[in-house]
Structure 1
Amino acid sequence: MSNDNAALSRSIIGNLAELREGEVALPRFLFKHADGLYVDPAKLDDLEALQAAVDRIFSAGACFQGLDYAAFTHLLYDLDLLKTHSQGGETTKPRRLARDIVAFRASRRTLYKAVKMGDGKVEYYFEPVFEEDDGGNTDPDGKPALTRATLDFDEFVADMWLKGIRFGINEPTVREFIATGTTGRFVIARRRDAILGKAADIQELAEEIHRDDAPKELPNGRLDLRQFKNRFPQINKGVHLLKKIPLVLGTPGREISGHLIEPPIPKDFDLGTLAGPGTTVVRDANGEFIVSQNDGFLNLDTQTNQISITEKIVNRDGVSVRTTGDLLLTGDEYEEYGEVQEKRTIEGNSIMIHADVFGIVSSRGGTIDLKRNLVGGMALNQKGDIVIEGVASGATLHTRSGVIRVKRAESCVIIGTKVVIENASNCDILAEEVEIGLAEGCALAAKVIRIERAVPRKQSEMLGFVMIPDQGEFKRKINALSDKLEDLKAVLGKMIAESEKLKANPDFRKYVTIAGKVRKGEITLTPEQQTNLQKMAAALSPHLKLLAKLGENTKAKMAEQSALENQLAELKEIKRVAEAGISCNVAAVGDEIHIRTLPLKPDTPSLFDTPPKELKVKLRGTNSVGEMLFAGSSGTFQWQYSSPQDANA
């Protein structure tokens, strides 16, 4: 309770044998000790008994003094209390609940207003409250004088209890609003919703767990005749196939009224009903598993949901409509000895194929290694290298992050981080770095170009584009940011100067000095001096407000300055990285070739995002873009990019 109320309050705990009016008797599980009021869980028959005792105390016009609200809600609603009581343990020890029980005077009860309840929360309107003066003073009309009163958290809990709010009060918030005299409607209590549990589930541990040669069903319900559901789920002995994820019970919640909110019990199942021939159920410290008992291929019975391991099988028949359909693999590595038919797709990770490929090979990572030829198909790798040890003809090779190595490439579209080709003819190539032994009639763009011999081929020009950063765009952006930064610094300087001028005001400096000493306790003011200080503060109020506003604006401008400086530094770093290492070297020019720069603007769609089908148009349609570096039919060409001096860089 507040200091004034605490000083006037006295304990109303009485003896049952000599109980006087206004006193309350304690049940056997509540007892008074020198340092406070305690609850003895060992003597508590059930939780309802404590709740009933609290209700009687509050209904009798009393409240707890110095209430430990956390202990209060724990003792009232902890579902584990009775269990730990029966087993013994720390929770059977007496728990301090409050300092005492005191009267909650009727004149004080009127200070606490009605609440607004709904949607699992309670709102209370905090406002100034007044009570009649205890000294008998009256106002000019002869009525009892009113004095400013302060709410009390202990009384607040008692009043809320009688209003049906018996759980979920936000103690720190309420105490803060009472202490600061905050005015307004605020949420002071919330329901604690139950947390749903999780039903028992199955976790698939094997990389491929469903073997099914039926056509794959698409999300729209149609069947894809090009794909089987799963063709090659090969399993070794001792592999953990499935793991049972045990059910997780939910966590009960509480209504504001204190009533329990029970979550539903999650569903469960017996893992043994899923273990078929060739598998067994293993239970150990890590959980409950279905484990393969022998090598073989996995089979799932859709009728019984049983999983079984059958005889071993090896596929060397290639990828076609007849043998496998399109393959969507989840393993870490795939090796194929047969031919990949035209329009057939293999999608997996680290793919090696020993025969010719006429279809599409797509990898999520690792290396695509084609031992023979890629004809009219595609090799796509999201993150990793592509190696063609034979010939790539009329094909598309694309990796988002990796090296493409080809022995011979003819009429191909090739996009990669780095491209290395022994012999390239009539190809369109885009990379950060390109190395070619013999380039015939190709159009290529890269930051680093190295060609041993370059010649045109029939009607195909030999074009090279060295990708460089667009200096004009960089300069424009850097200058714009620099100018904006300088303007901002000028504004900041004026604001700081104005603030210093205000601080130099003699009256302001005098007020700050006195107020600081009072705050630190260095001096004590007489009532008259205190009044004078308040008058001084009132007189300086516009001055103080202006200074505070200037401080806020200065802080905002400084944050803006920091953000601009970071943007400028980032842009300069992007420029530096974009300029690093750019070069072009052609050891031998056999016939007419053209080499130009290809300026790239920052913050524009990357050239590497160009769809492969559009790359040819992009490269061969930019013959007038950039600066001509070389146009000739013989000799050699060596060029190293040098960044122009930028006054703002």
Structure 2
Amino acid sequence: MAQQSSIENQAAVALPAYLLRLKDGIFVDLSTFPVGGGFEAFIDRLFGEGARFKGLDYRLLMDLLYDYDAILDVHGIGAKLKLAEGVVVFSPKRKTLYKGVRIDSQGKRAEYFFEPVEIETITQVPVYGPPDADGVAPIVGMTSKEELKPTKLNMDEFVADMWLKGVHFGIDIQKVASVIASGEMGRMTVAVQLDATEGIDAEIEEASEVLHRDNSPKILANGKADLRKFQNRFPQIATDARLLKKKPRVLGKPGYKVGGEIIEPEISKDLDLHPLAGPGTRVEKQDGFEFIVSSRDGFLSLDVDSNNISVTEKIENKGGISIKTTGDLSLSGDEFVEHGEVQEGRSVEGKNMTFRSDVYGDIVSQGGFILLEINLSSGSAKSIGGDVTSNGRAFNSIIEAWEGNVSVKYAEACLIKGNSVVIERAVNCEIIAENIQIDRAEGCGIAGRKVKIHSSNSCRGKQTVISMLVPDSAKLEAQIDQIGQAIAECKKIIEVKEQGLALIKSDAEFAKYLTLATNVKQGIVKLTLEHQENWQKMVSKFAKPYSAMERLNAEKQEQLDRILAFQQEQTYLLGAREKNAVGVHCEIGEVIGDTLVRSRLALNGLSEFYKHSVSDLKVLLREQGVQSERIFTNDEGSLDWNFELPKMVDSP
């Protein structure tokens, strides 16, 4: 409700409800202050109607107009703050004391020329009559006299006058008050604009120490440092772990020109965490902040190209393998994908590994696969118990999967070893496997049990040599022969035993006894009490030859049992001999260059090649063999050959 002063010299100005005229002055009620506007219009009306504040708190006035939030932060919404001692009339006569103000074209500053000021005053002076007898002129009346007297400007008046002349912000109260008090002359800057305060862009900060890769040298079990390996190149992350935290943006504060026009700050940049959250992560609000947290256990992956963070079951790296980036790697995860190049001399040990750039180092898989999508050059790829696949070019390298499969698109000057090998084109390579399939073989040394080549050619004067690994049956045949001899010995012993039995049975009385004993035993003949005594006498008479006969029969049966066991073992060995020879086959669809196919005894299958060095294998696989071992030698034609076991010589 508007209030009105009745005090003399106070201006009769209606105050809005949020301005309280109390005993101690004019107060602002912050609880009802019009945040949306209206206070500036009141100031315009107040000064425009010839009133001004007395004892004005200029700092509070500026904050009410331009920084209301700062007042609330300090005092709270329920505070009542003193704005001035009162509202008084700004007399027109004193208004004339204030000169014009110069505001630059951009509204950055206002200048005022300070000089001595005088104000017109009217004083009453006496009017004298004629002097009396004593010569003293009596005062016969009073008259008014106008004159100019020095005066000083007033700070509250200065604020009101500057407002009316367009200076609504930024008066340097202390400076102006000092100049007024000292009477200093000259043109001075009395108000300056407040530049906008820049805000702070939203930022991302790490929320976990596990984000840091530990590139310090790995400490071995013996306490020594391995300078080729880093301590923890690929950090492992637990489910629900905080990874990144968003620091919210801080908006800038506006500035103001001396005319009160707002100077907007640049809007601080915000950011959205969602595009940064890759697979295995999610955005979650915790403790008033946004975080990227892991949604599963796995390995941390920072993708510079897509600019996101992921937690994957497999380890992915895009920086390549080198002494500067990773050192040698010994991976604990089941799957690893490398997008960068593997430097020469570096090694990577893991399980299932995929390389999408060139590899110049050494790759070792324990029980998993190796996939080379580009090139392998002067390096190696070895899988112990798994497979190796090369979809690019392999040059001057070693590819090994003794217990698995090897698949190569193009290989040159390589040593390739595996259980099964499939190559589209092989040039000047050494290849060893149980099963080998090559589309084009040029100048290669090949050893295997089953070899199928679409076309065979020489390369730079070097022929293709194919060694068919045929079983060495000598040991089995020796065992079979020994068993045959053992059976023959058993038969000889049986013959001797049968001769002894025939001699015993040649006694007519003993033969008659044997017949009677058989009939008694079978119940054909029933003995009476009278016959029992005679029968016992007969048994006693022939006890010795009967015992000898039983012994000979037992010894004969023992030899028969031995023969049966020997025959079973002999059958097994014969089957093993036949089985070893099954599947030894060489097929060449077209021979278009110098090609040699030979047989080679494989004493222990492929294992005999394990112990040889690379240089030894190069020599071994180029051996021509003796004439009897050569199956095919020509520079044209084709071949379809199956190994056949030679017939065994019957044992005597």
Question: Which TM-score applies when normalising by structure 2?
Answer: 0.47
Give the number of the structure whose residues are more often strand, by fraction: 2
Question: Which TM-score applies when normalising by structure 1?
Answer: 0.47
Indicate the structure (1 or 2) with the bigger Cα radius of gyration.
2
